[in-house]
Amino acid sequence: MGPAGGRQRPAKGRRAADAALFLLVFFGGWQATALAVGAGYVVPGPLDVGARALQLGTTADFWRSVALSLARIFAGFAIGMVAGVMLAVAMHGAPRLRTVLAPFVKILRTTPMVCFVLVLLLWASNTVIPTLVAALMVLPVFWTHAIEGLDAASAAYADVVRVFRISRMKAFWSIYLPSLSGELAAAAEVGMGLAWKSGVTAEVLALPPFAIGTGVYRAKLALEGPDLFVWTIAIVLLSLALEAALRALTRRWRLARADEAAGEGDSDEARSRR
Amino acid sequence: MKLDRVDKSYGRTTVFRGLTLEVPSEGVTALVGPSGCGKTTALRLLAGLETPDAGRVEDVPDRLSMVFEDDLLLPWASALANVELVGATRARAASLLAELGLAGREDLRVASLSGGQRRRVAVARALAYPAEAFLLDEPTQRLDAESAAAVLSAVRSHAQGAPVLIVTHDPAVAAACDCTMRLSDADRPS
């Protein structure tokens, strides 16, 4: 029996056929559009872009830009994650702090990213702006998931903590924090995509040396259609790779959560069937 | 432990009005009655987890232990860790789990246990806590007769004279208790 409510995976042959059909439609449509437009600097064909990718891919500057962008944005993601979780923990433990700080986090969540970049351009070095912007985008995501998780755990286990007189510290380390794993996995998946998109956009606006966003901006400025497409494809591929890496990292958490959800209210008979 | 002329409502739903219920100061007492008559609410009032709208809750010992209506176990933690959570040593926790038929399953995560096994972990946790009274809400729920008997035997041996109040729908469990109190639809013990 497959997982309850899960989608059936299509057969291997069917998946390969679907992938081939997707590639055919994608590249066919792209080539047809390029031929119809007839201007390589606006819509270059896939062959031109492929040739340019091979050229750029052999330069040290391309890989340096990719590595530095990854480092900056990942640093922002990590800072936002740690700050968001710590803030949630502090606010969960101190209701008055929550009353005071919650509106600030909500403001962070609703402020357009470009406003942060423009303000930060006045105050900070362009090399750190993508990191700061990614952190500011990720912080509210982790804060929201963490504080909702902490609220849910403290409500669910309030009777246990009270009857068995479990200290606040022990309840935090043994009950509340472990119960956050599923929430944090979900936050990480949302946050990583957000960090990547906001970080690259911040690079386009802040133009730090050796950055994917700077490459995008320069390609656009010089009307280098193939370069723009190569950078864009690099952004998409890196985003997919990061997402896959993160899913692999959080797999254990997600499985544990699914297991817990499946375990709730099961009969012995249902469990033994699994 | 005593509920003295207690009223309790949730919103517009009255659970009981003027309920008086006195739990014997020793032995195992069964609290029975039809579903929805307020057995769990009575237990929660005694545990201090609910506040009566009127009346008094009296003579409740300082340290109570409880099996909750839902297991309220930590699904990500092992059976052993769940019992250790209330302050039991590893050896005592393991011994209690073994007594309840969970030997060899101590290190399994609770999420991977069956409903009946989880119930026994909840019972082990309640018995591991050094309490002066035990309030057990359906401790034999989801258990077969043999496991239910093991639970009752463990309760008797570990309560060590402290009063035990067991909410149950199982006539066999009620029969095995020292006395039975019935909560009727009229919301008064008969």
Q: What pLDDT was estimated at residue A262?
A: 56
Of B75, B77, B125, Cβ closest to residue A263: B75
Cβ-Cβ contacts under 8 Å, A174 against chain B: 74, 77, 81, 85
Q: Is B55 left (phi over 0), alpha (psi -120 to 50) or beta?
A: left
Question: Does the residue B83 lie in any domain?
Answer: yes
* Residue A136 to residues A80, A133, A235, Cα–Cα distance (Å): 6, 5, 20
Is A267's Cβ below 8 Å from some Cβ in B? yes
Whether residue B49 is contained in a domain is answered as yes
* A214 in B contact zone (CB under 8 Å): no
pTM greater than 0.80: no
CB-based contact, B48 to chain A, within 8 Å: yes
Q: How far is A184 from chain B (nearest CA, A)?
A: 15
Query: Is B54 contained in some domain?
Result: yes
Query: Does position A259 have pLDDT exceeding 80, yes or no?
Result: no
Q: In this prediction, does ipTM exceed 0.85?
A: yes
Domain assignment present for B189: no
Give the nearest chain A residue to B61 (CA atoms): A163
Domain assignment present for B88: yes
Using only C-alpha atoms, chain A has a radius of gyration, in whole angstroms, of 23
Q: Determine the pLDDT at residue A270.
A: 38
pLDDT, tens digit (0-9, with 9 covering 90-100), for B55-104: 999 999 999 999 999 999 999 899 999 999 999 999 999 999 999 999 99
pLDDT at residue A258, rounded to an integer: 62
Note the residue count of chain A. 274
CATH code for the domain in which residue B141 is found: 3.40.50.300
Asked if A232 is an interface residue toward chain B (Cβ–Cβ < 8 A), one would say: no
Return the pLDDT at A5.
Answer: 46
Closest by CA position to B68, among listed B88, B41, B91: B41
Structural domains of chain A sorted by starting position, each given as residue range(s) with its CATH number in brackets: 45-261 (1.10.3720.10)
3-state helix, strand, coil in chain A (%, to 5): 80, 0, 20
Domain range for B167 is: 2-182
The rounded mean pLDDT for chain A is 85
Does a structural domain hold residue B190? no
Euclidean distance between CA atoms A150 and A171, whole angstroms: 11
Would an 8 Å CB–CB cutoff place B64 in contact with chain A?
yes
What does the block give as tokens for A114?
């470009």
pLDDT tens, position by position, B140-177: 998 999 999 999 999 999 988 899 999 999 999 999 99
Kindly give, in sequence order, each residue whose CB lies less than 8 Å from that of residue B77, ignoring residues fewer than 6 positions away.
Answer: A174, A178, B85, B109, B110
Q: Is residue B76 part of a domain?
A: yes
A 10 A CB-CB count for A73 gives: 30
Which phi and psi angles does B137 have, rounded to 5°? Answer: -95, 110
Domain contains B141: yes
Minimal-distance CA residue of chain B relative to A175: B74
Distance (Å, whole) CA A229 – CA A227: 5
Which segments of chain B does DSSP mark as H helices, in order? 39-47, 79-84, 90-99, 115-128, 145-159, 171-176
pLDDT at A81: 95
B23–chain A nearest CA distance, Å = 19
Total structural domains within chain B: 1
